[in-house]
Homo-oligomer: A and B are copies of this chain.
C-alpha cells in the first residue's frame, strides 16, 4: 500500500506503473494489454480512432474538478467522438503528463474514474504512458472503436432538418457555477451551491454534473448508425454555433435555425430565472454538452423521434439545412440574420464568457 499523500517523486515511475497495471482488469477483445511495447487488440474490417485531451488550466482546475470525475470525463469526451461516428467504443490508451510533486492519491483517484467509466461501457484500457512535466497536468486519451456503419459530418442535404439530441447550455452553466464556488464531491453528490441559494440545489447539481461528468448518448447513436437515419452527424462539443458551422462547412450547405426551438436545459432556465444569466446565449455558444447534432431528412423524422423515445433522449428539431453559403442563420418569421459563431477556440486569448473550452 502506498500512502495517498506520497508525492510521485517518491513513488517513481516504475512503481506507479506497476500499481496502475495491477488495477487494470482484463477486457474482451484484448490480445495483449498493458505492459508490452504496444497493445494488441482484436479488430474488424474498419476501426475508428480518435484522441481528445484535458489540460489543467485550459479544460479543468484541480480546485473544482475531483480527480475521479476528471478520469470519467477523459473517457467520456472520447466516447462522444466514437459515438458520433456511429461506432462502438472498445479500447483506450491513456497518456498522462504529471508533476513530480503530485500526490499518488490524486493519480489513483483519476484511475478510479477511468476504470469505472470504462467498465460501464466495456472499454478495455490497454496501454498508455506516464511522463513527468513541470507544468499543467495533461490527460490524453486515444480511443479505438468498432466502426461498421458510419455517421459522417458531411452529407447534409437541402431540406434536411437540424436536430439536436440532448439539451443545451447545462455544461457551460456548470462551468460558471464552478467559477462561483459551487462544487461536487468525487462521488458526484453536491457539496455546495456556492453563491446560489439552497433552493437551487437541484438545477445546480444537474449543471455541475453536465460539466464534470458528461454522458454522451452513445447507445442511441449506435442505433442511429445501424438504421442510417441521419444524413450527417457530429457531437456537440465546442458549442452549437461553431459545431453547426462545421457541419455546414463539411456538407457545403447553409443552415437556418429558430432560437425559440433550442432545447435549453430546464436547469439552465430555472437558474436564469434566479440569477439572470442569458440562457439563449449559453445554449447557442456554450460547449461541452456532448449531445449530438444531426441532419435528418424529413421522411426520417418520425423514425428518429421513435428511436429517441425508446432510448429516453430528447430529440429537438431546431431548423433546416438550406442551399447557400456554408453558414448558420437565425430565422425569425420570414427574415434570416447571420449567426456569428462564438464557440470556444483554442489559442485565442478572449474571455468570451462562454467559458468552457470545447474538448
Give the B-binding residues of A (Cβ under 8 A): 8-9, 11-14, 16, 31-32, 35-53, 55, 57-59, 80-82, 84-85, 87, 91, 93, 95, 97-98, 100, 126-136, 138, 140, 142-145, 147, 150, 152-154, 234-235, 250, 345-349, 357
B residues near A129, Cβ cutoff 8 Å: 51-53, 140
B residues near A13, Cβ cutoff 8 Å: 345-348
Structural contact, B45 and A153, CB atoms closer than 8 A: no
C-alpha gap A130/B281 in the complex (Å): 25
Which of A59, A128, A132 counts the most B-chain CB atoms under 10 A from its CB?
A132
- Which of B41, B53, B150 sits near A95, CB closer than 8 Å? B53
Q: Say yes or no: A48-B38 contact (C-beta < 8 A), given A12-B347, A95-B53.
A: yes
Structural contact, B87 and A38, CB atoms closer than 8 A: yes
Chain B nearest CB: distance from A170 CB in Å?
21
C-alpha gap A153/B95 in the complex (Å): 21
Chain B nearest CB: distance from A7 CB in Å?
8
B residues near A346, Cβ cutoff 8 Å: 12-13, 130-132
Structural contact, A47 and B144, CB atoms closer than 8 A: yes
B residues near A9, Cβ cutoff 8 Å: 347-349
- Which of B35, B47, B57 sits near A47, CB closer than 8 Å? B47
* 16 extra A-B contacts, CB within 8 A, seeds A49-B91, A49-B142: A9-B349, A31-B46, A32-B152, A36-B153, A36-B234, A37-B80, A37-B82, A38-B85, A39-B48, A43-B43, A51-B142, A52-B129, A58-B134, A95-B140, A132-B357, A144-B144
Q: Which B residue's beta carbon lies closest to that of A59?
A: B131
C-alpha gap A43/B42 in the complex (Å): 9
Structural contact, A97 and B53, CB atoms closer than 8 A: yes
C-alpha gap A38/B47 in the complex (Å): 10
20 intermolecular pairs with C-beta atoms under 8 Å apart: A13-B345, A14-B345, A31-B46, A36-B152, A36-B250, A37-B81, A38-B49, A40-B85, A40-B147, A51-B127, A51-B142, A52-B129, A53-B131, A58-B134, A93-B142, A98-B347, A130-B346, A131-B346, A132-B357, A135-B135
Structural contact, B51 and A93, CB atoms closer than 8 A: yes
Structural contact, A49 and B127, CB atoms closer than 8 A: yes
C-alpha gap A147/B183 in the complex (Å): 46
Which 9 A/B pairs are nearest by Cβ-Cβ distance? A135-B135, A38-B50, A142-B142, A13-B346, A37-B84, A43-B43, A8-B347, A132-B346, A43-B47
Structural contact, B53 and A85, CB atoms closer than 8 A: no
B residues near A49, Cβ cutoff 8 Å: 38-41, 91, 93, 126-127, 142, 144
